[in-house]
Amino acid sequence: MKKRISYAAAFALLLLCEILIALFVRDAFLRPYGGDILVTVLICAFVRIFFPAGIRLLPLYVFLFAAAVEALQYFDFVRLIGLADSAFFSTLLGRSFSWIDILCYGAGCALFALTEYLLDKRRR
């Protein structure tokens, strides 16, 4: 139960950071790259609330999910499903493919995996 609370707190803090970045940051580094790194950490933390130790390769699965979403952007999936005029879905799913985004997703997943490894090592 203690782990779930820790992951829930991390999720809430990361979500707040993501919202603040989206609303107030207009730069060429933190918003495009920092947000992409944090979003994969956010997703990992969210899943860990429900499965605190049950998914060993979670960072890999989250990376594959994020890369799949990025691949959908390459094909302009939002337009293909007829939601290109929806600001919500255009923002949620994205409209532009970038290899750099995939690197950022990988960095976020690696950061999460490293953090979990170090925390588990410290607990033992």
- Give which of 15, 11, 10, 36 is closest to 105, Cα–Cα: 36
pLDDT 10s digits, 79-122:
999 998 998 888 888 888 999 999 999 999 999 999 999 998 99
Q: Tens digit of pLDDT for each residue in 30-79?
A: 988 999 999 999 999 999 999 998 899 999 999 999 999 999 999 999 99
Supply φ then ψ for residue 5, to 5 degrees. Answer: -65, -40
Residue 81 CA to residue 123 CA, distance in Å, equals: 47
Q: Specify whether the CB–CB gap between 121 and 71 falls below 8 A.
A: no
Contact 51/30 with Cβ under 8 angstroms? no
Radius of gyration of the chain (CA): 15
Domain boundaries, the chain: 2-123
- The first and second tokens of residue 123, run together, are 């607990």
Q: What is the pTM of this model?
A: 0.90
